[in-house]
Structure 1
Amino acid sequence: MGTLIDPGKLTDGLYGLGWSAVKRLPEGVAAQLGRQLADAAWRRRGKGIERLEANLARVVPDASPQRLAALSRAGMRSYLRYWMESFRLPAWSPERIKAGFTPQDVHYLEEGLASGRGVVLALPHMGNYDLAGVWVTTKLGVPFTTVAERLKPESLYDRFVAYREGLGMEVLPHTGGAAFGTLARRLRAGGLVCLVADRDLSDSGIPVKFFGETAKMPAGPAMLALHTGALLLPVTLWYDDSPYLRGRVHPEIPVPENGTRAEKAAGMTQALADAFASGIADHPEDWHMLQRLWLADLEPRAAAAGRDRA
């Protein structure tokens, strides 16, 4: 009888191989490898590709099937570019990091930090937020705090934490609301917090209208801004035909003048969703959402689960 392989250990091993091997490749070779892996995954037409195309159909509702297929192929190439770059980031020189990201309107971030109020940067799953983060720590010389969802196996989570801490980030585990107090303290001290914030299917997620339909996004960015007085700045990222990551820091999302704290948080989260939507609509191929997001996509599965229980 053959020896059974633990899927968790296999996944951890594959990521470890990526971090150890890909970072040693010449940049052009790594980029070509990423494109080849992306095209192979796209041709297999797995569930992730089908979900990506279904999500893109909401972003580009008038797209033909051929256009959606082209977008999903470009999307997979963008997604694998993110991974190839992330594997190689620890080997990049400070000069390469500084040149690797060219954001627009970064003055919103610089002015917010100079004000001493603290800043919450909120991003969707676009482009390469790891590269944008290490650019902040390297180019601007500003440390920041973020959270990471606990992964299985634990060794894989430890790899991600060590990787991001090695890039100058403080990483907190995303375990319920335990990280909120630490994030709030960092902001009250005038610090920077960066959060990926375009998907939250938990009970605490806030419903928003996103490309015309209801989705849920995390309450954390808005609640942190409300609790601490920090600025809430959306950021969107994308690639173009150059070797560099592009991005935009959007203007501050203001706190509504009226309403309860919950109502204010809901209004701010909707404004955040609108900012994300504007960036995603401009660069849909760089939005790496290969999972269910809109509540309408979850309802049939929930109904089926209810029938199974009955």
Structure 2
Amino acid sequence: MTRFVARLLYLLASALGRLPWSWQMRLGDAVARLWQRRAAREARVARVNLELAYPGLAAEERERLQRAIVRTTARQAIETLRLWTRPHAENLALLREQHGVELFDAALAAGRGLIVAAPHYGNWELLNQWLASRTPLAILYRPPESAVGEAFLNLVRADSDTGRVTQVRAEGAAVRQLWKRLSAGGVVGILPDQQPKAGDGEFAPFFGVPALTMTLLGRLAERTGATVLFCYCERLPSHPQQPAFALRVEAAPAGIADPDPQRACVALNAAVERIARRDPAQYQWTYKRYTLRPSGNGDDNPYRLR
């Protein structure tokens, strides 16, 4: 039954993903308006995050940014259905610009292992497809809570390069798997701005607010000597007829592999923040980044009752 339901969801996603791009944009905008009217989770979380991250912004400007974030998030949801249900080669043609690819190629050639830090900025599903087109890799991911959700993701992420991607659950033996791959000179992809479980990270400033930050990336970089590169697919505004992106590959700050986990987390968050500030509407401000607070008791969770 799980696979059957996942297949039905895939057929629906495929139908939506094959609509003309102008229709997809209008559908995304309609979803965004619905989220705003009903004060949906996406709209509420974005508003709280902006209050925390941009306290000096005028209220009207913050509301304008919140609306842009919600609209972009809704459009991206439809856009991702398109990327999931079309051939990867066709999707990669949407990359109109590529910057810093020489850094990626040099890291592969060095053979010391490569950690790709992929923040939730732009479209990370398109980045996954570009990475798979260049090299075999392992991607650390947090599995959906439902079996149907996971079965659906396995379907939509399947393509001719499926065998080049190993999906590693963020649990149990994940660290050993990633360590082994990096030690052999392989490539690992990590989403660096996901909140870890309590006890699995350090608090470090993110937009001036303490945020529980993963120590895994820094530990892997420090202990294996692997290169760390930040990679993302940034949406370009100059192509209204269809989605278009710029692939960007950037060197990580030296402090990201600091043996002191606190300093490594500070460097990691600073790098993610710099990318997010390029165009805040493209960053995933609909994610509850600040749920766990330094107090440890949860009473000051900013999303509570919001």
What interval of TM-score do these two structures reach, taking the shorter chain for normalisation?
0.7 to 0.9
* Paired position in structure 1 for 2:137: 144
Unaligned stretches of 5+ residues in structure 1: 1-7, 306-310
- Which residue identity is paired with 2:181? R
* SS state at 1:159 partner: helix
Query: Residues 248, 304 of structure 1: CA spacing in aligned structure 2 closer, same or farther, 3 A cutoff?
Result: closer
What code does the residue aligned with 2:212 have? K
TM-score (norm 2): 0.82
> Could you tell me which of 104, 107, 121 is aligned with 1:109?
104
For residues 301 and 37 of structure 1, the distance between their equivalents in structure 2, rounded to whole angstroms, comes to: 35
Residue matched to 1:131: 126
Tell me which residue corresponds to 2:234.
238
SS, match of residue 87 in structure 1: helix
Q: Which residue of 1 aligns with 2:304?
A: none
Distance 1:146 1:180, change over 3 A: same
Deviation at 1:134, TM superposition (A): 0.5
- 1:274 maps to a residue whose letter is A
Which residue of the other structure, out of 58, 74, 77, is the alignment partner of 1:83? 77
Aligned pair partner of 1:26 in 20, 31, 42: 20
Out of 274, 278, 286, which is 1:278 matched to? 274
TM-score, normalising length from structure 1?
0.81
Where 2:277 maps in the other structure, the secondary structure is: helix
Mean Cα deviation higher: 71-80 or 38-47: 38-47
Q: Hey, what does 1:267 align to over in structure 2?
A: 263
Aligned partners of 1:23 and 1:88 also within 8 Å: yes
Is the Cα contact below 8 Å between 2:212 and 2:293 reproduced in 1?
no
What do the CA deviations read for 1:262-299 (whole angstroms, capped 9, x no partner)?
A: x1x33222211101111112211111132332367686
| Worse-matched range after superposition: 29-38 or 248-257 | 248-257
Q: Is the 1:23–1:87 contact (alpha carbons within 8 Å) kept by the matching residues of 2?
A: yes
- Aligned partners of 1:256, 1:218: CA distance in 2, in Å? 11
Match of 1:206 in 2: 202
Instruction: Determine which structure has the larger helix proportion and give its number.
Output: 1
Could you say if the C-alpha distance between residues 49 and 15 of structure 1 is closer, same or farther in structure 2, counting changes exceeding 3 Å? Answer: farther
Amino acid at match of 1:128: N
1:139-190 alpha-carbon deviations (Å, 9 max, x no partner): xx312211221222212112213433436332122224x1111112222222
2:50 paired with 1:56: yes
Q: What is the Cα deviation at residue 247 of structure 1?
A: 4.4
| C-alpha distance in 1 between matches for 2:248 and 2:27 | 28
Could you tell me which amino acid in structure 2 is paired with residue 81 of structure 1?
Answer: R
Structure 1 CA distance, aligned partners of 2:25 and 2:75? 7
Cα RMSD after superposing both structures: 3.0
> In the aligned structure 2, how far is the partner of 1:301 from the partner of 1:52?
23
Aligned residues: 290
Contact 1:42–1:72 (Cα < 8 Å) also in 2: no
User: Which residue does 2:114 correspond to in 1?
Assistant: 119
- Residues of 2 paired with 1:164 and 1:133: CA distance? 9
Counterparts of 2:234 and 2:52 in 1: how far apart (Å)?
A: 19
Q: Which amino acid aligns with 2:121?
A: M
1:3-28 CA-to-partner distances (Å, cap 9, x unmatched) read: xxxxx99x969954542321232233
CA–CA distance in structure 1, aligned partners of residues 281 and 195 of structure 2 = 21
Match of 2:283 among 283, 287, 310: 287
TM-superposed CA distance for 1:217, in Å, is: 1.5
Structure 2: how far apart are the matches of 1:299 and 1:22?
Answer: 44
Question: CA offsets, 1:205-256, max 9 Å, x none?
Answer: 2211111121012122112212221111223443231331234322133368
Separation in 2, partners of 1:18, 1:288: 24
Of 218, 228, 237, the match for 1:222: 218
2:43 corresponds to 1:72: no
Distance 1:201 1:281, change over 3 A: same
Q: Given the superposition, is the C-alpha separation of residues 196 and 101 from structure 1 closer, same or farther in structure 2, using an over 3 Å criterion?
A: farther
